[in-house]
Amino acid sequence: MPLKMRKNHSPEPPGPCDLTVCMDVISGQWAANVIWQLRGGPRRFSELKSDIPPISAKVLSKRLAELQEKGVISRHVKDTSPPSVEYALTELGGELIPAIESLVAVGLKLKNRQAQRSVEA
């Protein structure tokens, strides 16, 4: 006898794709890390590369372009010699910080739980 299908009591997101759109922004490889590093203020490419050592220059460049296209970060070319480029969070990008902070907090709890389990084993 098949099990009866239960009704889902979770509230529907305002639009069927809203959650997916947001997750698409932060789920790209290193995207959340780039946003996290920019929360403290504008950074140049080399500074971001230094902030996230495992990221390659190619991937960082690609991620910055994608985040800029999505309106999460801005790119500002400074009139210096030689010219330099700074990246900063837009107002929309800043709205992602609380969500990423929550994910970091849960990640820390999961990490502590895994460490505790390995000590107990």
For residues 19 and 59, which has the higher predicted lDDT (pLDDT)?
59
Q: What is the pLDDT of residue 88?
A: 98
Segment 98-120 shows an average pLDDT of 92
Please report whether residue 72 resides in a domain.
yes
Segment 92-102 shows an average pLDDT of 95
C-alpha to C-alpha distance for 91 and 37, rounded to whole angstroms? 15
Q: What is the pLDDT of residue 50?
A: 96
Please report whether residue 2 resides in a domain.
no
C-alpha to C-alpha distance for 95 and 98, rounded to whole angstroms? 7
Please report whether residue 73 resides in a domain.
yes
For the chain, the domain total comes to 1
Nearest to 63 by CA among 78, 49, 81: 49
Domain with 68 in it: 19-120
pTM score: 0.80
Please report whether residue 24 resides in a domain.
yes
Please report whether residue 82 resides in a domain.
yes
Please report whether residue 79 resides in a domain.
yes
Mean of per-residue pLDDT scores for the chain: 91
Tell me which DSSP letter residue 3 carries.
P
Please report whether residue 105 resides in a domain.
yes
Can you give the CATH number for the domain in which 111 is found? Answer: 1.10.10.10
Please report whether residue 88 resides in a domain.
yes
For residues 90 and 121, which has the higher predicted lDDT (pLDDT)?
90
Segment 84-105 shows an average pLDDT of 95
Question: How many whole angstroms from its chain centre is CA 83?
Answer: 27
pLDDT digit string (tens) for 29-75?
Answer: 999 999 999 999 999 999 999 999 999 999 999 999 999 999 999 99
Residue 121 has pLDDT above 80, yes or no: no
